[in-house]
Amino acid sequence: MIGDAAPTPAPARAGRRVASHRGAPEAAWYPVCRAVRKGGPRRVMLHGHALTVDQPGTMPELTDADAEDWQATAALGMVWVRRVAGMEQATAPPLPAEDLEPDMVRVCYSRVRVATDYDQAVLGLVDPAHVPMVHNSWWWRSDPVRKVKTKQYTPSPFGFTAVSCDAFASAPVYDLVGQDRSVSIEFRLPSARVEYVRSKGFRLCNLTTVTPEADGRIALRNLIFCNQPLLVPAQPVLSWLGRRFLSQDAVILETLDSEADTGSPLFAGPPDQPSLWYYACKRALLKAQGTGAAFDNPVEPSILRWRT
């Protein structure tokens, strides 16, 4: 990988080690299971706690003895939970559901559990350079020739958003949408990657999340929503493809975890700038939650360029 940054206010310095605030913020929403009405109680894990989710009506309920320490809600066909004990007033990033347009229906749901570090998994959502090394399915990447890619990053609520500046598309599957498409990829704390694809009459939202089930164990989820209900019957096939995609990340994450040392992560070059922003945003969120102040987004508008 190479990286030659266009002018940017806050370039990543080569070989920079970052003292990170490791781990998952607790006063933030994470998906824990699918929302199923009248499906009976289900056991889920979050932050190392076993929780029981019941859903007798439209909204899920937690039925454990310490249920008042937690809050549950339903959105995007999922149950989301956050810890509230001692943090009732803490600012929590809004759910991605608030951005979803009402005519979009779910066409894909995939989940893969991984034995890995939480932060390492979230870095996998924001790292643009891992794609050619990890996601090598024919329908995702058919051209082995590396190209220079340029993306414009801007701060967005509780994170940052990237818009591609290149005319070419990375993945053949995008060609199905048409050449006039626009693609933006948002990262939102605590651990959501939200990709929007828009073309003439076509809109798609591709959501990937990381849930910290326990120390060293996470769940990767991928949900795709689209304004084309004709794709709903294809959900089993699309979900199978989604699991294959997530499994490619899982293999790398478990390999990295087994070879990890205990030092601070090392970041170098423009492709790692989003990883630095992730840690900076998380520090800003924890500071805001600790002081009661508004979230002060540390991301500066930037253009990043690398070979992919």
Contact residues for Fe ion, defined by CB under 5 A: 249
Which residue, 213 or 249, has its beta carbon nearer to Fe ion? 249
The torsion angles phi and psi of 145, rounded to 5 degrees, stand at -75, 130
Which residue, 35 or 121, has its beta carbon nearer to Fe ion? 121
Distances (CA, A) of 128 to 124, 262, 299, 306: 8, 24, 17, 9
In whole angstroms, the minimum distance from the beta carbon of 185 to Fe ion comes to 12
In whole angstroms, the minimum distance from the beta carbon of 134 to Fe ion comes to 5
In whole angstroms, the minimum distance from the beta carbon of 233 to Fe ion comes to 27
> In which residue are the tokens 């781990």 written?
23
Which residue, 186 or 249, has its beta carbon nearer to Fe ion? 249
Which residue, 10 or 171, has its beta carbon nearer to Fe ion? 171
Q: To 5 degrees, how large is the angle CA 86–CA 87–CA 88?
A: 105
Omega prior to 190 cis, within 30 of 0: yes
Q: Which residue is nearest to Fe ion (CB)?
A: 249
Distances (CA, A) of 25 to 10, 15, 46, 207, 285: 25, 26, 11, 19, 8
Residue 218: CB atoms within 10 Å: 28
Decide the pairing of beta strands 105-114 and 78-83. Answer: unpaired
In whole angstroms, the minimum distance from the beta carbon of 124 to Fe ion comes to 5
In whole angstroms, the minimum distance from the beta carbon of 252 to Fe ion comes to 8
In whole angstroms, the minimum distance from the beta carbon of 286 to Fe ion comes to 26
Write down the number of H helices and E strands in the chain: 4, 16
Which residue, 124 or 212, has its beta carbon nearer to Fe ion? 124
> CA-based diameter of the chain, in Å?
56
Which residue, 136 or 264, has its beta carbon nearer to Fe ion? 136
Which residue, 122 or 205, has its beta carbon nearer to Fe ion? 122
> In which residue are the tokens 């967005």 written?
156
Contact between residue 46 and residue 218 where contact means Cβ atoms under 8 Å apart: no
In whole angstroms, the minimum distance from the beta carbon of 169 to Fe ion comes to 17
- Quote the CA–CA distance of 298 and 61 in Å, as a whole number: 36
